[in-house]
Structure formats: C-alpha cells, structure tokens
Amino acid sequence: MSYRWRTMLVLAGGLVAAAGAVAPPAPAGDVVSQETIDAYFRLEWSKSGRKVNGYVYNSSNRRAGHMQLLVESLDPAGAVVSKTSTAVRDVPPNNRAFFETSVGEAPSYRVSIISFDWVEERDRIDRRRSF
C-alpha cells in the first residue's frame, strides 16, 4: 500500500470518528411514570361475549394519543394465562375513548395502560388516516 493511500485512509477514518463524536444525540421520548398514568387516566371495562370493551377516561387538560392497552387473561389464582394488546388512537382532554379487543375464555381479566403520547394541538391526530 502506498504512502498516499495510507494517508487517505487515516484521514477518512479520522473524519468518520470526528463526525460521530460531534453528532447530536437522538432525542429521547417522554418517560411516563405509573403515578402519571394513575393521576390522569381511569379504565372502565367489562367482558361481553368474546371481547373485552370499555372506556379510557382522561382527566387531564391534555390530549393523549397512540395509547397502548394490555389486556391480560387470568386464571383462578390470578396468574396470567394469555395477553393481548389494543390501541386507543385518541383520548381527548377531560373526556373518554372507547376500546374493544377479542380475548380468550378466562375467569377474570386485567386491563392496564402500557404507553401513550401527550399530543400537542399542533400535532393533532388526523382522524381520516388510520395506523
């Protein structure tokens, strides 16, 4: 390998390393604690046929979107025998949103909020589009 090629490789490697060192970090998403979920949201649900359905109540003044719910089927001892998730696209401020998902037969169920995003008015969810 000639001196010229070696110099070019060293310079190229230095540029790549320098670019990685000064690149801004990727923004982290909001971390939402269980206390926040408990303070602003309430779940009301029941089993109807082969489905669990109900409402997510939002008591905050902010819109919640892209909410993920976990529905767990429990055995008589309270152990989880199966899980499913469902999405709630938009939970308006000081309002509620309906959800429904199919479940297997079980003595009881548990529904919980896994995640959601606070949605600013400028980022309003377009109801005409589906995910």
| Structure token pair of residue 28 | 């982290």
User: Which residue has 């090629």 as its token pair?
Assistant: 5
pLDDT for residue 32: 75
User: How confident is the prediction along the chain (131 residues), in pLDDT tens digits per residue?
Assistant: 666 666 666 666 665 555 555 444 444 445 678 888 999 999 999 999 999 999 999 999 999 999 999 999 999 999 999 999 999 999 999 999 999 999 999 999 999 999 999 998 765 555 544 44
111 within some domain: yes
Which of these, 99, 100, 85, 89, lies nearest to 131 by C-alpha position? 89
Answer yes or no: is 130 within a domain: no
Structural domain that includes position 112: 34-120
Buried b vs exposed e over 51-64: b needs ≥16 C-beta within 10 Å? ebbbbbebeeeebb
How many other CB atoms sit within 10 Å of the CB of residue 42?
14
- CATH code: domain of residue 55: 2.60.40.10
- Is 9 within the bounds of a domain? no
Residue 90 is assigned to a structural domain of this protein? yes
Q: Please give the Cα distance from 101 to 85 (Å, whole number).
A: 8
Q: How many angstroms separate the first and last alpha carbons of the chain?
A: 54
The structural domain count of the chain equals: 1
